[in-house]
Chain A
Amino acid sequence: MKVGEYCDEFSALISRMLDEDLDQSEQIRLWMHLDHCEGCRAYYEAQCAIRSAIQSLPPVEVPADFTAGVMKRIAEDAPAASRTEAADTKPQSAKNKKTPWRYRILPLAACCALLLLSVQRVGLSSPRSTASETVEYSTADLETEESAGAENSMLFAYAENSDAVNALPLLMLSAAALPFFTDGEEAAVDSAEDGSYYTLDSAQCEALLLWLTEQGLDEDAAALQEALPLAEDTLTLWVWAS
């Protein structure tokens, strides 16, 4: 072995030893090796010194106005109605969901409906041929007081496995698409009791596509058509309006 070298295999064991991840036989094997390998012994000593130094780093000083800065950003966060499920969480029960939703939406007159749209693409089943009848926009199936102003909203959809807070939306639909979920026969898509999220299988996605086309919502239809191939077998889209 050249001067300064260590054994890759044992350096990995040293790393795991520092993290107390070795079983007894691995520990014995490592100690026997360290007994005669100067390079690995030096590596071990260096890693111990590094750990000790990292853990003795002085605590950092948080800027004095940090909390105020965070709260200012929250106050300025225009689409605050987009407070919604984090990407790694599952839909809450309707019972638990209504109150927080009401609380966070009411102060924000410009913001309205919170929707969670789940799209499960389980292969390509045959398209459902029936389109819903045209229905007038209604927020009755949502919590009415929160959904005032939905006409000016956009629906933002995020893939389940992305970070809904930081990621770019996979799909944006205009609020004119909302009636598909709230009214008419196509509202048969699975939804929470309080109407805050909707689940569509692949056939229902296609029904939505057809409905958007029939409504003359060509841009929305094109956006959906573009997004669907990106879906994996199961895809959850998080949708909210702001």
Chain B
Amino acid sequence: MTELDWILAAQQGDRDSFACLVQSYEQRVYQLALRMCGNSEDAQDAAQEAFLSAWRGLPGFRREASFSTWLFRLTSNACIDLLRRQKKNASALSLEESGEDLTSPTLRYQPETALEQQLLREGIVNGLQQLPPECRQVLVLRELEQLSYGEIARLLALEEGTVKSRIHRGRKLLRKYLIDNGNFFAPSASKNSESNRRGGAIR
């Protein structure tokens, strides 16, 4: 059966077909939820909620958007709802509060060793969690799902300009987090080497 067959059958209440859709999309939905929520427990809750919403909403799904786009929207909304409920965004980064970068431009941005690459990836996973949810939402959809501005705008019912500015803001904040937490690297001879690895999230 094709995905369309599963969708049509699930629309008519066929749970086995819906289970096939869940299995087909669980990886991408769970990954999106994990990158947005930051921990596996919340990600599982949000991803399950998204699929439950999909099951309930399928009879009205008109395929005006692709099933995956629709499902990502439900996932994204489930994550945002969960984060709002938990008020996790209280610890989000703020450029206004923390001021601009004061770091040296001589930092090395391309990790050279496996350890540096690993540290950068860890920093990014942690840094994403420090972004305001609305920035994280669009950045994750852009970078992980590689959706275009237009696709994200349609998916989240936002103006394209809003999507662009949120992605831009998310990138600025993420870079700032990585620099402040030592996830970018100074040349070994640099006197900034230690001071740039001071760790800890900006508050």
With an 8 A cutoff between CB atoms, is B175 at the interface? yes
With an 8 A cutoff between CB atoms, is A94 at the interface? no
With an 8 A cutoff between CB atoms, is A227 at the interface? no
Most buried by B among A16, A56, A165: A165
B52 nearest in chain A by CB position: A73
Chain B residues contacting A101 (CB-CB under 8 Å) are 59
Beta-carbon contact of B78 and A166 below 8 Å? yes
Beta-carbon contact of B59 and A47 below 8 Å? no
CA distance A50 to B121 in the complex (A): 9
Indicate which residue in B35, B143, B184 contacts A46 across the interface (CB closer than 8 Å): B184
CA distance A87 to B23 in the complex (A): 25
Total interface residues on B, CB under 8 Å, equals 69
B8-30 interface with A by 8 A CB criterion? 11-15, 18-19, 22-23, 26-27, 30
Distance from A102 Cβ to chain B, minimum over Cβ atoms (Å): 9
Indicate which residue in A50, A51, A70 contacts B52 across the interface (CB closer than 8 Å): A70
Beta-carbon contact of A85 and B175 below 8 Å? no
Beta-carbon contact of A166 and B77 below 8 Å? yes
Beta-carbon contact of A77 and B57 below 8 Å? no
B146 nearest in chain A by CB position: A55
With an 8 A cutoff between CB atoms, is A184 at the interface? no
Indicate which residue in B27, B40, B56, B60 contacts A92 across the interface (CB closer than 8 Å): B60
Total interface residues on A, CB under 8 Å, equals 63
Beta-carbon contact of B53 and A67 below 8 Å? no
With an 8 A cutoff between CB atoms, is B94 at the interface? no
B127-178 interface with A by 8 A CB criterion? 142-144, 148-149, 157, 164-165, 167-168, 171-172, 174-175, 178
Beta-carbon contact of A15 and B167 below 8 Å? yes
Beta-carbon contact of B22 and A70 below 8 Å? yes
List the one stretch of A3-11, A122-130, A206-214 in contact with chain B.
A3-11
With an 8 A cutoff between CB atoms, is A193 at the interface? no
Chain B residues contacting A11 (CB-CB under 8 Å) are 168, 172
Contact code string A12-50 (vs B, CB < 8 Å = 1, else 0): 100110110100000000000000001100110111111
Main secondary structure of the interface of B (DSSP, over half): helix
Chain A residues contacting B59 (CB-CB under 8 Å) are 83-85, 92, 97, 100-101, 104
Main secondary structure of the interface of A (DSSP, over half): helix
B46-91 interface with A by 8 A CB criterion? 47-49, 51-53, 55-62, 64, 70, 74, 77-78, 81
Beta-carbon contact of A83 and B53 below 8 Å? no
List the one stretch of A57-65, A137-145, A173-181 in contact with chain B.
A57-65
Chain B residues contacting A56 (CB-CB under 8 Å) are 117, 121
Q: A46-B109, A165-B57 are in contact. List 20 more A-B contacts (CB 8 A).
A: A15-B171, A19-B164, A21-B149, A46-B179, A49-B109, A54-B143, A55-B144, A56-B121, A57-B124, A58-B121, A63-B40, A66-B26, A66-B44, A66-B48, A70-B26, A84-B56, A84-B59, A103-B12, A103-B13, A165-B52
**13 cross-chain CB contacts under 8 A:** A3-B102, A5-B100, A12-B168, A15-B164, A42-B107, A46-B179, A55-B144, A56-B117, A60-B31, A67-B22, A69-B44, A83-B59, A166-B81
B residues whose Cβ falls under 8 Å from a Cβ of A: 11-15, 18-19, 22-23, 26-27, 30-31, 34-35, 40, 44, 47-49, 51-53, 55-62, 64, 70, 74, 77-78, 81, 100-105, 107, 109-111, 117, 120-121, 124-125, 142-144, 148-149, 157, 164-165, 167-168, 171-172, 174-175, 178-179, 184
